């Protein structure tokens, strides 16, 4: 059996220091953040003084601007012991927030990780808020890791050690946990679909659970049948790889009362479309179709690692959507776990069919709120583009809470409507509902309307991450592939419950 690339945690290689003299710091590279216009009064100005006004001079000559995410390397700068000074731009000072710092630190790391380095030192500014500090650290950790899991010679090499000067210890520690969380989600998405399938995903979940002390149950096909998860089983039937449902429990309130929140993820480890087969172009990146599951696994593990005082359940529906001879068919009618009958019009609209059962499982646990994340529809990407996640809800105050958390983390989201007028679109002639809308218009909303049927009265928000979960092309701050989108938002939400 071939060995898949394993995931490595790096939080333990992130440190703070009490040494604050920038000029004599022993490091392979020193990273300093610069706002647009001038060196300001922060740490950049200390570097400027130590180097006899080098930064100011470069700004004056137009060689250095502080433009957002622009990285400028200076080698052997006089006045510093560091042999490499990297200046990363933050853009306009008044627009700097946690998201900008995440991406700026990530850009710097990404640049520096192109060569092996044993120590890289980041200089935090004293006026950053705790959240900004954490997000900068998380960004720096995500930037040093790329998607070249299977490349013999890596394009990006994680630093031996990362040090934060004038970083507060707790925030640097939390930031490093967040960074590991984002990277775990990216890693799982980046694994090849022949390496990551329902059973192997469940093994990753077991590993994450044992690391953070979470309880975990994995339902195999026998248990799924006993539990009436016929919708999940139907989607999985076209593959020789059986489905799994992962349930992770974390009780941070030290009682086992009802979960404060359920994090539900779509874990389609490969989406061929089934008998409603995708085109080759449409299928190429469909290893990413478990990104919702990866997001929830990563968020839950990080929440547990941070020991947040909440009770949580994470539920991930894992299937491979294939075309085997037992595959579910157009015209099939499935009785979902809830008892609702579903007529299948398109086997490529499989995510909602899987989630129907998973949502019903957590609903019957009587959780206070449900959030799901899924690479659910191409229509959501048509509506909002590649960078923005779509939000859909049956409870505006929960959705507002998600919006606020996303805003705090600098992750773009946009809510789409759930007007009752859309309900008629999923009515079926032969069953309670059908698994697609009447036409292709409003496809992200009709998908959400389908999910809504399975949450009952529980406050629920659905996050369609079909756009932001996967980047076909690299960005300055992140390599292509899995992005870890929404992991930070969900953790931020859990911290503010």
- Please pick, from the candidates 316, 362, 466, 490, the single residue that binds ligand BES as defined by CB under 6 A: 466
Instruction: Check if 278 is active-site.
Output: yes
DSSP class of residue 25 equals -
> Is 378 among the residues that bind ligand BES (CB under 6 A)?
yes
The percent of the chain in helix, strand and coil, each rounded to the nearest 5, is 40, 20, 40
User: Contact, 366 vs 456, CB < 8 A?
Assistant: no
Closer by beta carbon to ligand BES, 82 or else 391:
391
Instruction: Check if 237 is active-site.
Output: no
- Please pick, from the candidates 66, 99, 175, 351, the single residue that binds ligand BES as defined by CB under 6 A: 351
Residues of span 224-253 touching Zn ion by CB under 5 A: none
Stretch of 161-169, 193-201, 218-226, 261-269 lying at the interface with Zn ion (CB under 5 A): 261-269
Q: Which of Zn ion, ligand BES, none binds 443 (CB below 5-8 Å, type-dependent)?
A: ligand BES
Q: How far is the CB of 202 from ligand BES (least distance, A)?
A: 20
> Is 98 among the residues that bind ligand BES (CB under 6 A)?
no
As given in the structure block, the two tokens for residue 104 are 């700026």
Q: How far is the CB of 317 from Zn ion (least distance, A)?
A: 11
Stretch of 3-11, 54-62, 85-93, 378-386 lying at the interface with ligand BES (CB under 6 A): 378-386
Distance (Å) of CA 127 to CA 96, 166, 434: 12, 10, 54
Question: Which residue is associated with the tokens 């490969």?
Answer: 270
What are the φ and ψ backbone dihedral angles of 49, each rounded to 5 degrees? -65, -45
The alpha carbon of residue 43 and the mean position of all alpha carbons in its chain are separated, in whole angstroms, by 31
Q: Where are the beta strands (DSSP E) in 76-135?
A: 84-89, 119-123
Residues of span 220-239 touching ligand BES by CB under 6 A: none
Residue among 278, 329, 368, 495 flagged as catalytic: 278
**What string of DSSP letters covers 153-171?**
S-S----SEEEEET--HHH
Question: Which residue is associated with the tokens 């931020």?
Answer: 492
User: Contact, 119 vs 27, CB < 8 A?
Assistant: yes
Distance (Å) of CA 494 to CA 34, 150, 307, 374, 466: 32, 34, 11, 18, 22
- Helix (H) or strand (E) segment spanning residue 262: strand 261-271
> Is 271 among the residues that bind Zn ion (CB under 5 A)?
yes
Stretch of 209-217, 269-277, 379-387, 456-464 lying at the interface with Zn ion (CB under 5 A): 269-277
> Is 372 among the residues that bind Zn ion (CB under 5 A)?
no
Count CB-CB contacts under 10 A for residue 464: 33
Q: Which of ligand BES, Zn ion, none binds 134 (CB below 5-8 Å, type-dependent)?
A: none
Closer by beta carbon to ligand BES, 218 or else 334:
334
- Please pick, from the candidates 133, 188, 379, 391, the single residue that binds ligand BES as defined by CB under 6 A: 379
Residues that bind Zn ion (CB under 5 A): 268, 271, 289, 348, 350-351
Residues that bind ligand BES (CB under 6 A): 271, 289, 346, 348-351, 375-379, 381, 436, 443, 466
Name the residues annotated as catalytic. 278, 352
């Amino acid at each position: 059996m071939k060995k898949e690339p394993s995931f490595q945690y790096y939080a333990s290689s992130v440190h703070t220091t009490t040494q604050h003299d920038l000029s004599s710091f022993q490091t392979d590279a020193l990273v300093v953040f610069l706002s647009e216009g001038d060196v300001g009064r922060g740490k950049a100005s200390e570097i400027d003084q130590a180097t006899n006004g080098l930064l100011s001079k470069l700004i004056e000559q137009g060689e250095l601007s502080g433009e957002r995410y622009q990285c400028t390397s200076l080698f052997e700068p006089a006045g510093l012991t560091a042999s490499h000074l990297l200046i990363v731009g933050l853009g306009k000072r008044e627009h700097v927030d946690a998201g900008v710092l995440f991406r700026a630190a990530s850009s710097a790391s990404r640049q520096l990780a192109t060569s092996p380095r044993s120590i890289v030192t980041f200089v935090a500014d004293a006026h950053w808020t705790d959240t900004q500090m954490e997000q900068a650290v998380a960004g720096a950790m995500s930037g040093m890791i790329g998607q070249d899991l299977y490349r013999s010679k890596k394009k990006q090499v994680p630093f031996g050690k990362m040090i934060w000067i004038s970083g507060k210890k707790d925030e640097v520690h939390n930031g490093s946990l967040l960074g590991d969380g984002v990277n775990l989600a990216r890693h799982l998405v980046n694994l090849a679909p022949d390496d990551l399938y329902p059973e192997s995903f469940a093994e990753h979940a077991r590993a994450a659970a044992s690391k953070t002390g979470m309880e975990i149950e994995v339902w195999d096909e026998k248990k799924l049948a006993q539990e009436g998860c016929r919708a999940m089983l139907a989607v999985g039937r076209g593959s020789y790889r059986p489905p799994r449902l992962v349930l992770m429990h974390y009780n941070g309130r030290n009682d086992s009362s009802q979960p404060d929140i359920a994090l539900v993820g779509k874990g389609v480890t490969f989406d061929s479309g089934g008998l409603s087969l995708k085109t080759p172009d449409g299928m190429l990146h469909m290893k990413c179709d478990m990104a919702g599951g990866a997001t929830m696994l990563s968020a839950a593990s990080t929440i547990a690692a941070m020991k947040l005082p909440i009770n949580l359940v994470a539920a991930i529906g894992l299937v491979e959507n294939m075309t085997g001879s037992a595959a579910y068919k157009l015209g099939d009618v499935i009785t979902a776990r809830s008892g609702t009958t579903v007529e299948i019009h398109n086997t490529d609209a499989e995510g909602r069919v899987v989630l129907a059962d998973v949502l019903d499982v957590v609903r019957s646990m009587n959780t206070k709120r449900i959030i799901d994340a899924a690479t659910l529809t191409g229509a959501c990407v048509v509506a909002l583009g590649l960078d923005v996640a779509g939000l859909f809800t049956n409870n505006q105050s929960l959705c507002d809470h998600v919006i606020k958390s996303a805003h705090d983390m600098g992750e773009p989201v946009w809510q789409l409507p759930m007007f009752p007028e859309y309900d008629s679109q999923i009515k079926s002639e032969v069953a309670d509902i059908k698994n697609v809308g009447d036409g292709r218009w409003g496809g992200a909303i009709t998908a959400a309307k389908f999910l809504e049927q399975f949450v009952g009265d529980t406050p629920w928000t659905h996050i369609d991450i079909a756009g932001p979960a996967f980047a076909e092309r690299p960005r300055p701050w992140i390599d292509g592939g899995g992005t870890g989108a929404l992991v930070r938002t969900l953790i931020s939400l859990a911290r503010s419950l």
